Amino acid sequence: MTLQNAEEDLASESLPLSGCTVVDFTRILSGPYATMLLADLGADVIKVERPGEGDDTRGWGPPFWRGTSSYFAAVNRGKRSIAVDLSSDAGQRVVREVIAGADIVVENFRPGVTGRLGISYDDVAESNPGLIYASINGFGSFGPRAQEAGTEVIIEAESGLMAMMGVPDGPPVRFGVAMVDIATGMSLVNGVLAAMLQRVRTGRGRAIEFPLYSTAISVLATVIASASVAPEMTQARFGSGHPSIVPYSAFEARDGWVVLGAVNEGMWGRLCAGLDLEPLADDERCATNEARVGNRAFVEQAVADAVAALDVSEITRRLGERGVLVAPVKTASEAIEDPQVAALGLIDQEDGVKFARTPLAQFNDARLSRAPALGEHSSEILTASGIATERMNELLADGVVQQAGPLAEDRPANPLDRAAHANT
């Protein structure tokens, strides 16, 4: 062990979840994002994948990086991978042995699948009563829609979220990123940490469940309340605007776009001064927020005309100096060049590829290791689970478990070309 490795091991012992093992059966985004958050807290995350294919997102590209998709690489850092054939009895026995030494299981199979695989909470809790077993699914594990597939776009459509997205008189649109998945992953981490505190008091673990549908309905709290009072308002699409605040939207300047807003009457007056719209400050059609909402088209057109005559830099300077909400609309590539990103340490880099750190990275000074190759850590995970070398060799020879070499810079870009790199 090098001095650097020894220092990193010592630092990792102080992390909140140091010594905790997570067995991660998830794929796509919500589960992998959640388990990466747990890795940032110091947990040892063992990602269980299908031999030959692995997580579906390994092939979601281009772009690809080091033989796997950049999508997969972004949300599976800090984990170890074991490739196991869960359709076989031998594979199911292997993962039960791995689970026996774990603190947390996270899975996002469709309800009922873990039972068929022999790895449901009931199957594994008797031998590991302290286990916290967290499940993600589409619509929940019970009720009339439990067996329906529930991906991000389906949940956005079914929950009412998509109906809100888009411009007036235009089609509904999905979020640019899978925000329901991300929010569900964050909720799962909160639930896992709460269950761990409960386990301290009771000595027992528990099963907990996080349907994407529940997340989507819950984040609509203000919309649902408003719909109870004024249903007609929640049926409209406001583009980048807000149903209850005007102005509060994106407007096109001479050389780009800005967002600006006035959330109270004082700010409205300062906005008018900054955009040379002083006569509107006391105009009865827009003197109060209620009046501005009622005269949305008039107010937004007046602001749009003023903004269109100015450059983005001039608008942000004028309004920023007056304490008005304003910002340029940036691309993600532009945003990460902001010096504040560097000040907060929000980006890791590896070989020129930039990875966003999670909000829980503040607990962890070390950069998370890169996402693993499919089955990269199979042998070491089996050994740590007490599986003898002879049996391990049989599992590898029979194809129940796949072992692959680590990612390398000179590996082919095609993520499906894994046979050449298998080390079984």
- What is the per-residue pLDDT across 97-149, written as a single tens digit (0 to 9) for each? 999 999 999 999 999 999 999 999 999 999 999 999 999 999 999 999 999 99
Sign of CA dihedral 232, 234, 240, 243: positive
Distance CA 312, CA 88 (A): 61
Sign of CA dihedral 195, 196, 197, 199: positive
Query: Domain 248-333 in CATH: superfamily?
Result: formyl-coa transferase, domain 3 (3.30.1540.10)
Assigned architecture for domain 3-218+357-421 = 3-Layer(aba) Sandwich (3.40)
What is the per-residue pLDDT for 235? 63
pTM of the model: 0.89
Helix (H, G, I), strand (E, B) or coil at 224: helix
Phi/psi region, residue 349 (left: phi>0; alpha: psi -120 to 50; beta: rest), is beta
98 contacts 82 by C-beta, under 8 angstroms: yes
Contacts for 28 with CB less than 8 Å, ≥ 6 apart? 55, 56, 57, 108, 151, 181
* Residue positions annotated with a catalytic role: 181
Residue 105's DSSP bridge partners are 23, 133
Residue with tokens 């062990």, as numbered in its chain: 1
What is the per-residue pLDDT for 199? 98
Distance CA 421, CA 326 (A): 51
What is the per-residue pLDDT for 4? 45
Stretch(es) of the chain classified as CATH 3.40.50.10540: 3-218+357-421
- What is the per-residue pLDDT across 273-325, written as a single tens digit (0 to 9) for each? 999 999 999 899 999 999 999 999 999 999 999 999 999 999 999 999 999 99
What is the per-residue pLDDT for 7? 47
Stretch(es) of the chain classified as CATH 3.30.1540.10: 248-333
Runs of H (alpha helix) within 160-275: 161-164, 179-202, 212-219, 221-229, 231-234, 265-274
* Regions of the chain where pLDDT drops below 70: 1-12, 233-235, 406-424
